Amino acid sequence: MTPDSPSATPSRKDVRVVYRGPLLDLVYRAASVHREHNDPAQIQCSSLLNIKTGACPEDCSYCSQSAHNQTELGPEPLMETDEVIRAAERAKAGGADRFCMGAAWRGPRDGRDFNAVLEMITEVKALGLETCATLGMIDEGQATKLEEAGLDFYNHNLDTSPEYYPEIITTRTFDDRLETLAAVRKSGMKVCTGGILGMGESEEDRIGLIHSLASLDPHPESVPINALVPVPGTPLEDSESLPWDQMVRAVATTRIFMPEARVRLSAGRLSLSEEGQTLCFLSGANSIFLGDQLLTTPNVAPGSDTALFEKLGLDPLPVTSAIPV
């Protein structure tokens, strides 16, 4: 196959050759693919809210919310629905057209809390916002209920390559994540899955992550590319910053192999200069998160995004009106 033929499954060698090509050639190729399949001036702006914080039983090495890590973040219960709706209204007023809700669970348990999340989704959807949730592992029955409540996307990141995955998480497997994604796909929801770069993995692991994502059939509609934000009290607290060119290479390669996906420049943007972000947008990133915090890590100030968009001639997607009920 050729990497510009999205209907075929790429080999890992295909991904490796593209990822390791001359950087300027890679950016040019990705920009060309991006323009063929997307409006290069259009950026989707999302907002992310932590609806349930801390005490997660998973041992993800990067996460401030894991009960296994010694961070300063204390556990908090699930937010009340009206609090979530007010946050969604503020996000919409601030320019977001997509609202994501995250809960620090291994997976939701059927019952009061899960029913409350279903209500949140329905009410956020009624505001005219695209909806996304990340609640840990879910089965087919839960996925169906989420879809029926109005959830557009379910996020469940692969995080890293299959080979490096056990170095980052031991309480669930890479295959567990694939099973959740299969349940999401079967329900009719769109798949949001990506990874985190800069966790001590090799360049080959970054290639393996992108290969795993591009091997999903069909491709995920949404691919968040995150750079690690080291959190004190986690095993990765002393990690070195990811070189900017690796972020650009990951975005560009993702765009080439998944030409129609929404490629989300997500956590870790604070570590990228304006020039680095610009190369990512040129290479095919077409979504960002607004707000000064992503779950529990800092994010770029909204005013900075507005100024950069004006400088580059980028236009946020328009926010829709509320859905009639």
- pLDDT value, residue 114: 95
- pLDDT value, residue 318: 58
**Secondary structure of the chain as H, E, C letters:** CCCCCCCCCCCHHHHHHHHCCCHHHHHHHHHHHHHHHCCCCEEEEEEEEEEEECCECCCCCCCCCECCCCCCCCCECCCCHHHHHHHHHHHHHCCCCEEEEEECCCCCCCCHHHHHHHHHHHHHHHCCCEEEEECCCCCHHHHHHHHHHCCCEEECCCECCCCCHHHHCCCCCHHHHHHHHHHHHHHCCEEECCEEECCCCCHHHHHHHHHHHHCCCCCCCEEEEEECCCCCCCCCCCCCCCCHHHHHHHHHHHHHHCCCCEEEECCCHHHCCHHHHHHHHHCCCCEEECCCEECCEECCCHHHHHHHHHHHCCEECCCCCCCCC
What is the residue extent of each domain of the chain? 23-313
- pLDDT value, residue 252: 98
- pLDDT value, residue 57: 85
Cα Rg of the chain (Å, integer): 18
- Per-position pLDDT tens, the chain of length 325: 445 554 578 999 999 999 999 999 999 999 999 999 999 999 998 989 999 987 788 889 888 888 787 777 777 889 999 999 999 998 898 888 999 999 989 889 888 999 999 999 999 999 999 999 999 999 999 999 999 999 999 999 999 999 999 999 999 999 999 999 999 999 999 999 999 999 999 999 999 999 999 999 999 999 999 999 988 989 998 899 899 999 999 999 999 999 999 999 988 787 888 999 999 999 999 999 876 445 445 556 666 788 888 999 988 865 554 443 3
Question: pTM of the predicted model, to two decimals?
Answer: 0.89
Looking at the annotation, which residues are catalytic?
Answer: 56, 60, 63, 100, 132, 192, 264
CATH topology of domain 23-313: TIM Barrel (3.20.20)
- pLDDT value, residue 317: 66
